[in-house]
């Protein structure tokens, strides 16, 4: 009986997905409490991390709040936009390739 098992030597190179930074931008209207709520709800930050990031946004004008693959980053930006619209705040989240 012939051996039907095929032996292939295949090199597969897996590429890591491009990652995207999600950035929150400062404005003069969104409250600290609202920004902290966004950071804990959308980005799953601890209360202490959320406070620290909110202060950074306030002091520096923006802060990187997470780094994700494209689809996740886009979803988080959309979630921030939705929450801001619902709360009638102009909070802006953007994303850019890392």
With 90 as the cut, is the pLDDT of residue 5 above it? no
Tokens 């780094």, residue? 67
Greater confidence (18 vs 7) lies with 18
Mean pLDDT across 19-44:
97
Q: What is the DSSP letter of 1?
A: -
| Per-residue model confidence (pLDDT) at position 14 | 85
For residue 48, is pLDDT > 70? yes
Q: Is residue 50 over pLDDT 80?
A: yes
1: Cα within 13 Å, side-chain hemisphere: 2
Residue 53 pLDDT level (bands cut at 50, 70, 90): very high
Please tell me which residue, 17 or 3, carries the higher pLDDT value. 17
């Amino acid at each position: 009986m012939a051996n039907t098992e095929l032996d292939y030597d295949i090199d597969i190179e897996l590429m890591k997905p491009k990652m995207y930074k999600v950035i929150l931008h400062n404005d003069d209207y969104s409250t600290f409490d609202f920004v902290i709520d966004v950071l804990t709800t959308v980005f799953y930050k601890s209360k202490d991390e959320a406070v620290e990031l909110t202060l950074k946004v306030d002091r520096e004008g923006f802060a990187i709040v997470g780094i994700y693959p494209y689809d996740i980053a886009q979803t988080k930006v959309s979630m921030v936009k939705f929450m801001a619209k619902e709360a009638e705040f102009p909070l802006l989240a953007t994303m850019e390739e890392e």
